[in-house]
Amino acid sequence: MSSTYMVFRCVFTIINMCFFALGFAIVVCSWWLHIKSADYRPLMGNQWLTAPVVLIFSAKLSMLLGAVGCIGAWFEKKILLFMYIITMIIIFVALLFGVVFVIAFNERVAMSARKELLENIRHYPGDEGKDENNSRKTMNSIQKRLHCCGVDQYQDWFNANIWTGQPYVPDSCCIEETNGCGKQIAANETYGLIYMDGCFNMIQMEINRNLMIVGILAFVLVFVEGFCIVAALGLLCYLRQRDRYI
């Protein structure tokens, strides 16, 4: 085995080890973003076709392929290196299109979430049925965590079926939650008891922040994948050229 190939192999292994560590960090970060959005994720249609999930799947598959590539390099298996290169290129392209697709449909998903929020308010708290109870749980969770009230404004709650036009809001809207605190406000006066921001804007802001983080992570992953592909191509070309002279 020539010293040139040994250098190529060591460089390729180091790159893949760094790539594995990067992939693991991306999986952890993306999973954290996915869990963080658990309270409003049911409002967004398909809960598993999201940017963090696309990134988690791509990073895990890339980590697995990194092991395949290292085996191919150390044992000089051209077929493994070829499979590594082709699959990494497919993931490279699919990740780019997948993240762009999710970001492009962000506005449509947001409008669907807004409609679901309004429906949850109208049917709050739901006297019967599992879906209505889930609506109550979802709205309370969103309002408590994001410190918001209603969809666009707290007055949205005045249209809830349960209160029939009364100027009431759920206790989860209160800055300091106590039993019945949401019924201590007036139609145009909150007395500083409740959150004033609408939940839709807060959700949109968090989704946009998450998309920015996912976009940065995806760019880093794609950038390092490019290095891995180039290094694997160098190894494969060297092995093929060497075998011609054997």
Q: What pLDDT shows up at residue 245? A: 63
Q: What pLDDT shows up at residue 151? A: 93
> Do residues 120 and 135 touch, judged by C-beta distance below 8 A?
yes
pLDDT tens for 186-223 read 878 888 899 999 999 999 888 888 888 888 888 888 88
Average pLDDT for residues 155-174, to the nearest whole number?
Answer: 86
Four-point Cα dihedral 127, 131, 136, 137, nearest 10: 130
Q: What pLDDT shows up at residue 53? A: 84
- Lookup: tokens for 190: 């909150």
Q: What pLDDT shows up at residue 46? A: 64
pLDDT tens for 25-74 read 889 998 998 888 888 877 776 666 677 888 888 888 888 888 888 888 88
Q: What pLDDT shows up at residue 199? A: 92
In sequence order, what are the residues at sequence separation of 6 or more whose Cβ sits closer than 8 angstroms to the Cβ of residue 103?
Answer: 51, 211, 215
Question: Is the pLDDT assigned to residue 147 strictly greater than 90?
Answer: yes
